[in-house]
Chains A and B, each alone.
Chain A
Amino acid sequence: MEVMPKWADVVLVPLISLVLAMIISALVILGIGEDPWAALKLMVQGALGSPYGWGYTLYYATNFIFTGLAVSVAFHAAMFNIGGEGQATLGGLGVALVCLALPWPHWALALPAATLGAALFGAAWAAIPAYLAAKRGSHIVITTIMFNFIGAAVLNYMLVNVLRPPSSMDPASAKFPDGTALPSFHDMFSPIIAFPKSVPANISFLIALVACLVVWLLIWRTRFGFELRAFGKSESAAVYAGISPTKIIMGSMLISGALAGMMAINTVQGEAGRLVLNSVEGAGFIGIAVALMGRSHPAGVLIAAILFGFLYQGGAELALWMSIPRELVVVIQGLVILFTGALDNMVRMPIERVFLWRRRSRQAAGE
Chain B
Amino acid sequence: MTFMRSILGAAATMALAAGAALAEPALIYDLGGKFDKSFNEAAFNGAERWAKDTGGSYREIEIQSEAQREQALRRFAEAGFNPVVTTGFAIAEIMGEVAKDYPDTKFVNVDGFLPEIPDNVLLISFQEHQGSYLVGMLAAMASESDTVGFIGGMDIPLIRHFGCGYAQGVKSVKPDAKIIANMTGTTPAAWNDPVKGSELAKAQISQGADVIYAAAGGTGVGVLQTAADENILSIGVDSNQNHLHPGKVLTSMLKRVDVAVYDAMTAGPDIETGKSMTLGLAEDGVGYAVDENNAELLSDDMKAAVEDAKAKIIAGEISVVSYYENSSCPAYDF
Over the window 299-331 of chain A, the binary record of Cβ atoms lying under 8 Å from chain B Cβ atoms (1 yes, 0 no) is 000000000000010011001100001100110
A277 touches B188 (CB 8 A): yes
A326 touches B11 (CB 8 A): no
A169 touches B89 (CB 8 A): yes
- A193 CA to B92 CA in the complex, in Å? 31
B93 touches A193 (CB 8 A): no
Residues of B within 8 A of A59 (CB): 67
A112, CB-defined interface residue at 8 Å? no
Over the window 66-100 of chain B, the binary record of Cβ atoms lying under 8 Å from chain A Cβ atoms (1 yes, 0 no) is 11101110111000000000000110110000000
A363, CB-defined interface residue at 8 Å? no
Residues of B within 8 A of A172 (CB): 90, 93
A160 touches B157 (CB 8 A): yes
Is chain B's interface secondary structure helix, strand, loop, or mixed overall? helix
Residues of B within 8 A of A156 (CB): 154-156, 186
A198, CB-defined interface residue at 8 Å? yes
Given contacts A169-B113, A172-B93, A316-B71, contact A49 B10 (CB under 8 A): yes
- A155 CA to B67 CA in the complex, in Å? 19
Residues of B within 8 A of A236 (CB): none
A320 touches B157 (CB 8 A): no
Residues of A within 8 A of B89 (CB): 169-170
A17, CB-defined interface residue at 8 Å? no
Residues of A within 8 A of B115 (CB): 167
What's the nearest-Cβ distance from chain B to residue A97, in Å?
19
Total contacting residues, chain B, CB less than 8 A: 46
B156 touches A200 (CB 8 A): no
Given contacts A49-B10, A50-B13, contact A169 B158 (CB under 8 A): yes
What's the nearest-Cβ distance from chain B to residue A167, in Å?
7
**Chain A 153-195 residues near chain B, CB threshold 8 A:** 153, 155-156, 160, 164, 166-172, 193-194
Among residues of A, the one whose C-beta sits closest to the C-beta of B74 is A198
B33, CB-defined interface residue at 8 Å? yes
B67 touches A200 (CB 8 A): yes
Among residues of B, the one whose C-beta sits closest to the C-beta of A313 is B71
- A303 CA to B175 CA in the complex, in Å? 63
**Chain A 42-90 residues near chain B, CB threshold 8 A:** 45, 48-54, 56, 59-60
User: How large, as a class, is the contact surface on chain A?
Assistant: 35 or more
B8, CB-defined interface residue at 8 Å? yes
Residues of A within 8 A of B64 (CB): 281, 312, 315-316, 319, 326, 329-330
- Give the 3 A-B residue pairs with the shortest CB-CB distance, closest first: A50-B14, A153-B186, A152-B186
What's the nearest-Cβ distance from chain A to residue B51, in Å?
14
B66 touches A278 (CB 8 A): yes
A169 touches B157 (CB 8 A): yes
Is chain A's interface secondary structure helix, strand, loop, or mixed overall? helix
Given contacts A168-B113, A316-B64, contact A193 B157 (CB under 8 A): no
Residues of A within 8 A of B62 (CB): 319, 325-326
Residues of A within 8 A of B10 (CB): 45, 48-51, 53
6 A–B contacts from the bound complex (CB under 8 Å): A45-B13, A56-B71, A59-B67, A152-B186, A169-B324, A329-B64
What's the nearest-Cβ distance from chain A to residue B6, in Å?
6
A279, CB-defined interface residue at 8 Å? yes
Residues of A within 8 A of B327 (CB): 166
Most central of A155, A156, A164, A193 by chain B CB within 10 Å: A156
- A48 CA to B61 CA in the complex, in Å? 21
Given contacts A49-B13, A52-B14, A156-B155, contact A276 B90 (CB under 8 A): yes
What's the nearest-Cβ distance from chain B to residue A189, in Å?
9
A149, CB-defined interface residue at 8 Å? yes
A152 touches B187 (CB 8 A): yes
What's the nearest-Cβ distance from chain A to residue B108, in Å?
17
- A117 CA to B279 CA in the complex, in Å? 43
Residues of A within 8 A of B7 (CB): 50-51, 54, 193
Among residues of B, the one whose C-beta sits closest to the C-beta of A282 is B65
Given contacts A51-B11, A169-B113, A170-B92, contact A279 B66 (CB under 8 A): yes
Residues of B within 8 A of A115 (CB): none
What's the nearest-Cβ distance from chain A to residue B303, in Å?
32
- A55 CA to B34 CA in the complex, in Å? 27
What's the nearest-Cβ distance from chain B to residue A332, in Å?
12
What's the nearest-Cβ distance from chain B to residue A131, in Å?
23
**Chain B 19-77 residues near chain A, CB threshold 8 A:** 31, 33-34, 59, 61-68, 70-72, 74-76
- A54 CA to B9 CA in the complex, in Å? 13
- A167 CA to B157 CA in the complex, in Å? 12
Selected contact of B33 from candidates A153, A272, A326, CB within 8 Å = A326
B68 touches A316 (CB 8 A): yes
A271, CB-defined interface residue at 8 Å? yes
Residues of B within 8 A of A252 (CB): none
A256, CB-defined interface residue at 8 Å? no
Given contacts A156-B186, A166-B327, contact A320 B156 (CB under 8 A): no
B315, CB-defined interface residue at 8 Å? no
Residues of B within 8 A of A274 (CB): 93
- A186 CA to B68 CA in the complex, in Å? 18
Residues of B within 8 A of A160 (CB): 155-157
B90 touches A50 (CB 8 A): no
A267, CB-defined interface residue at 8 Å? yes
B186 touches A51 (CB 8 A): no
What's the nearest-Cβ distance from chain B to residue A169, in Å?
4
What's the nearest-Cβ distance from chain B to residue A267, in Å?
7
Residues of A within 8 A of B113 (CB): 168-170
Among residues of B, the one whose C-beta sits closest to the C-beta of A281 is B65
